[in-house]
Amino acid sequence: MDFSVGKAIRSINKEGLKPAYFLKGDDFYLQSFFTKYINKKFDSTIRIKHLDLSEINDVELLFNDLNSMSLFSSKNIFCIRNFSKLSRNNKEQLISYFSKPNDDIILVFVLDDFSLKNKFSKDLHSKCIKVDTNTPFFNNKIKDWAKYYMQVNKINLDHNIIDDLINSYGDNIANVINEIEKLYLITNKRDIKIDDYKSSYKNRNLKVWNLMNAIGVKNIEESIRIFDTLIINGISVVPIVSSLYAFYLSVLKSYYNASINDYRINKTIQSKIQIYNRKYLEEEILNIIVELRNIDVLSKTTNIDSKLLFHPFMIKICKGYYGLQ
């Protein structure tokens, strides 16, 4: 029998944890929610080890732990994918492990494709507690998960917003949760009304050229707001740097009446080049281009937070710092 995530959790609370669980279904939010719950119940101080058994190092790590004596082993939770890639010998070892499982280890097998296509998967499936992690078919079930997430995170959405998000992104609970997170980050509010939601769509549709325009006229507040929104919307620093490099190169060319022919510069920005031109000294643009090259290198070779990298840069541009060097 397959348990829903909710029933599996109730079973854990009543009967305790079992040695192994088999998650069937590709809803990442449900997979993550369930494994994190196991982690909390088993030992919240340990980190879940995510293993891909198509990788030899992960195979060795798993079997070293499974074969270690319980007296000397430490607690571990393994979240395991691609287990069908194991060698025949390893498959046999894994099945035989269940005759005497280690109390200090919990195995969570994840099968995104819910069909069991081979004998090994079926045998493994029979040894585990089965948990359904498919996205619920009915919208009201998805809404229940969304409401649970909002309750835990103290976020309140108008019910019409929830319905619209489910209709638009409800093929996966993780997608709906992701959109709720975006709404919170964009609006910076925990109580989100319809007007906030409508306004957020303007922010979601912001493009890099909106940043070009804001920074082109040296508007600090707007530049920072648009940059932060682009990052929230999943735009990385690399294409932003590339586009701004093209933008300032185009402004520089305007000093010499050179033609501007760059796919990164749309017609709206091209039509305003002379407006931007009047905001900058030629030397200032050259200094900005040099700094953009430095930022490009840093963004590709370090883990510096994008805001720490870009906010001071934009403030310096808008304050005219690069024209004073």
Tokens of 116: 């069991």
Provide the β-strand partners of residue 182. none
Q: Rounded to 5 degrees, what are φ and ψ at 91?
A: -60, -45
Residue that is written with structure tokens 């910076």 in the block: 188
Report the distance separating Cα 143 and Cα 211, nearest Å: 35
Q: Can you give the pTM of this predicted structure?
A: 0.61
All residue ranges of the chain with pLDDT < 50 are: none
Report the distance separating Cα 241 and Cα 300, nearest Å: 11
Q: What is the CATH number of domain 139-204?
A: 1.10.8
Report the distance separating Cα 35 and Cα 262, nearest Å: 48
pLDDT of residue 194: 84
Ordered by start, the domain boundaries in the chain are 2-132, 139-204, 208-319
Q: What is the CATH number of domain 208-319?
A: 1.20.272.10
- Centre a 10 Å sphere on the Cβ of residue 124 and count the other Cβ atoms it contains: 24
Provide the β-strand partners of residue 4. 132
For domain 2-132, give the fold. Rossmann fold (3.40.50)
pLDDT of residue 179: 82
pLDDT of residue 300: 84
Q: In 3-state terms, what secondary structure has residue 3?
A: strand
State the DSSP H helix or E strand holding residue 157, giving kind and residue range, or none if neither.
Answer: strand 156-157
